[in-house]
Amino acid sequence: MNPLLTALARFLIFPGLLFAVPAAWFFLWVERKAVALMQERVGPPFMQPFWDFIKLLGKETPPRPGIAGLIMRAWPLIAVSSAAGAVGLLPVLPSQGGFEGDLILLLALLELPSVCIICAGFSSRSLFGEIGSAREAALSVSYNIVFLLAIVSIAASQHTFRLEALAAMHPTFLTVLGVIAILVCLPAKLHINPFSLPNAEQEIYSGPMTEYAGPELAMWELAHGLEWVAATGLVATLVAPHIALAWGTTLLAACLFVVLSVAVVLLLSVLAAATARLAIDSSVRFYWQCTLIFAVLAISSALFVRFWS
């Protein structure tokens, strides 16, 4: 098929916007409901994130004159489009789309929402936004080193930076280690306990998002949901190689992708319900002291395997 059409289908239909936006709402609901059930509460009804989104679209925004208003309005749109692009790049179906090095593009697109949150907090010129953004920046530097080292070690051990090839790889000890390292970085990426400091409510008045309202806040919530889909989808595609190749239908591959993503969401919800929020020094120390050593081990063994074989 025409590669442009394939790319458009991947970005717009599956696993792109048409699938990702309802999936984002579904994953957000699964997380809230799982945390509530583990806390003996009944939790929100099924369509809750959808109703939150619609309600936010109908609220007014405070007047923000000048260029600062334009910049503030741009960050949530950049965050949503990059998260949607990251979801669209995921190699769910074996369609031979993609290009050499699209893993790098995926990592960049996964990174952009955090960068947008940091810039949004500073550009809102509110004290609480600045504090929240500074915390998010410190956390982002810490977990990103581990995250990127883990992914690069998986890619280096497979001698490729192409997502299709990574999705079809056979699991080795190194790739298992890398996936575990990615899972450890996910709570910080998705701002859930124990690393939920950047949007700590009642501590810094919602952190970087303090001055956002209405449709902009709806876009931030949607970007957060799409980040969930992209991050859990990345783990799902790395964990389950193209089983569709063996089973032969795309529908089964799609279902497996969704089931594995929901399993990752449930695992992260258990972690979120079981832990409390760590302060910034403890969070940063965790990533630098405990996990960095494993990431360094992973990349050095990947390079060792590469140069030795």
Site residues (vs another protein, CB under 8 A): 32, 36-45, 47-48, 51-52, 54-55, 57-62, 128, 199-207, 209-214, 217, 270, 273-274
- Tell the smallest beta-carbon distance from residue 58 to another protein (Å): 5
At position 144, the amino acid (one-letter code) is N
Q: Compute CA distances 2 → 61, 95, 99, 288, whole Å.
A: 43, 11, 14, 45
- Tell the smallest beta-carbon distance from residue 83 to another protein (Å): 20
In whole angstroms, give the CA distance from residue 64 to residue 73: 9
* Nearer to another protein among residue 103 and residue 209 (C-beta): 209
The distance in angstroms from the start CA to the end CA of the chain is 36
List of residues 6+ apart from 273 with CB closer than 8 A: 34, 35, 38, 39, 193
Cis peptide upstream of residue 194 (ω within 30 degrees of 0)? yes
- Tell the smallest beta-carbon distance from residue 284 to another protein (Å): 22
* Nearer to another protein among residue 216 and residue 227 (C-beta): 216
In whole angstroms, give the CA distance from residue 112 to residue 78: 8
List of residues 6+ apart from 137 with CB closer than 8 A: 118
- Tell the smallest beta-carbon distance from residue 76 to another protein (Å): 13
* Nearer to another protein among residue 220 and residue 287 (C-beta): 220
In whole angstroms, give the CA distance from residue 137 to residue 127: 15
- For helices 173-189 and 292-308, the axis angle rounded to 10 degrees is 150
* Nearer to another protein among residue 46 and residue 99 (C-beta): 46
Burial of 293 (0-12, 13-18, 19+ CB in 10 A): exposed
* Nearer to another protein among residue 43 and residue 241 (C-beta): 43
* Nearer to another protein among residue 35 and residue 93 (C-beta): 35
- Tell the smallest beta-carbon distance from residue 267 to another protein (Å): 12
In whole angstroms, give the CA distance from residue 27 to residue 300: 35
* Nearer to another protein among residue 60 and residue 281 (C-beta): 60
- Tell the smallest beta-carbon distance from residue 19 to another protein (Å): 22
- Tell the smallest beta-carbon distance from residue 48 to another protein (Å): 5
- For residue 12, what are its two tokens? 């717009």
